[in-house]
Structure 1
């Protein structure tokens, strides 16, 4: 915890002085009592003290003064607060390899369930969009705070041939740019922060298996994302044992981690693996926490102010109840 105006804490010395003064007064009273030799008369003249409870009102008020002093100093602390301006684009691979059943019931169906859960749990103020890609990329839903269009589009995903990962990333960047421009340049605070969440199970096949560095390749697109300060979180989805049926022949479709990890590293994002629906759910939960919230220093003086006020009220109340007077 830190303070905006720490010099107010010097008043804690005053509170300490008051506490010391109260202690000295109690010591002096005890000394004066011992000097009074006629104890039998003293018991008749001086009302009987109630022991330690008589100190409760003063102690409560002294602690209340200390709490109120801290509140005046403007205490701040780090806290997670919801993001309300961020833009997130989910990019989902719908190439034929996504019909593999190594993730039950299929890679695509498991991805659909997890993606809808992610949409539901994402902070309401975040704008969420959806892009699907196979041989080409299609913007299915532009960024919006309404989750229903996104979930309907996720349910309607269909498989197709080829994997154009680079085109999908470029489409996501263009969607983010268009949305930011629609906000009149992002307003006084600048363009809203953005993130791309890319889920795929294999290496791109367009413009070619070795074409990641081509002008429309995935690595080139990742560099563009890094220049725009838009990190790409990639999810490698599936296992090395994945197989699909193509024209009556069983074809191996092992998941490709290397290219997706490279995309994340280039763009400044994170790489995740998900070999099951449960793991994918956990990945999306982690992303939702990271994307939906940010850590800021916030004013926490209200808590100290409330505590100090309540203690002051308690001190005055007990003083009246115990001694029919304030301390």
Structure 2
């Protein structure tokens, strides 16, 4: 356990009391020895005095002092970094449903693998996170508004339908709008919950054509996300040798890693590459950990209380065993 600090360090003043008890015990032992030596008849003393137990007789006192030290440590409120589930956050899952997702370079197809991984992500996300779903091809559609109810999200993932074109920017803009509307409702005194967009796509933007810095382009949308402090975790899914059959023609659909990396950079988010179904699952699992949990300094006194209790019981037991009395 890596301790990060103490909530009430002033309790350490009790160490002065523990030190006084220790000194008092030592002095009491010396005074007892002096009183014993005043006995004038040493021969009779040797016959009637109990046989010395040596160091074992100090075990109860030592255990008692250790228990006091541990209790003092616990009272000081040690804290440690612990991973705790988030109780408020908003995540918009934005999935590409363009025709290129029919490619079979990822078995059985890109879309089937994406659905399975997204389903696992939704089902495994911690209960306190509000999850929404957007699909995009030539346009973007909000399929499920942010909610803690996972059933609707899973059903929508299972029913994703493919369409023509790839409007990546529209997908991001739709996610930003959904988050803004949801945050306005649930913000409260604490302000809007932290939000993130998880964007999964396999290809380059085709709508609008040309410059991704177009007012509705992917890079412009990523910059807008940055301004709203909503990072985009982009997942580039697929390989460089994917193809799809469109009207009898085999069309190459190479994955566009560079665009996804740039979207993540412009928004202040993270870029992930997944070339297989297993890699995509690992990416989603990693995102689930990042999004669903946060690291906080939490109370770590319980182990010290438990140890102090064990030591106290040991002190009582050893005292009864060695001296037939409690310390």
- Normalised to the residue count of structure 2, the TM-score between the two structures is 0.92
After TM superposition, list the pairs within 5 Å mapping 1:1-327 onto structure 2: 1-23=4-26, 25-26=28-29, 41-183=44-186, 186-208=187-209, 210-327=210-327
1:230 counterpart SS class: coil
1:161-190 deviation digits (Å, cap 9, x = unpaired): 00001110011111111111221xx12211
| Number of residue equivalences | 324
Shift of 1:311: 2.7
1:54-113 deviation digits (Å, cap 9, x = unpaired): 333212211111111112222222211110111111110010111111111111111111
Q: Report the Cα distance in structure 2 between the residues aligned to 1:47 and 1:292, rounded to whole angstroms.
A: 66
Kindly tell me: are residues 98 and 61 of structure 1, through their superposed partners in 2, closer, same or farther at Cα, counting changes over 3 Å?
same
Unaligned runs of 5+ in 1: none
Kindly tell me: are residues 12 and 204 of structure 1, through their superposed partners in 2, closer, same or farther at Cα, counting changes over 3 Å?
same
RMSD: 2.2
Bigger shift: 21-30 or 301-310? 21-30
Q: Report the Cα distance in structure 1 between the residues aligned to 2:49 and 2:111, rounded to whole angstroms.
A: 86
1:195 counterpart SS class: strand
Shift of 1:231: 0.6
Shift of 1:318: 3.4
Bigger shift: 53-62 or 125-134? 53-62
Kindly tell me: are residues 33 and 160 of structure 1, through their superposed partners in 2, closer, same or farther at Cα, counting changes over 3 Å?
same
Unaligned runs of 5+ in 2: none
- Normalised to the residue count of structure 1, the TM-score between the two structures is 0.92
Q: Report the Cα distance in structure 2 between the residues aligned to 1:38 and 1:161, rounded to whole angstroms.
A: 111
1:222 counterpart SS class: helix
Kindly tell me: are residues 42 and 277 of structure 1, through their superposed partners in 2, closer, same or farther at Cα, counting changes over 3 Å?
farther
Q: Report the Cα distance in structure 2 between the residues aligned to 1:11 and 1:190, rounded to whole angstroms.
A: 41
Kindly tell me: are residues 102 and 31 of structure 1, through their superposed partners in 2, closer, same or farther at Cα, counting changes over 3 Å?
farther
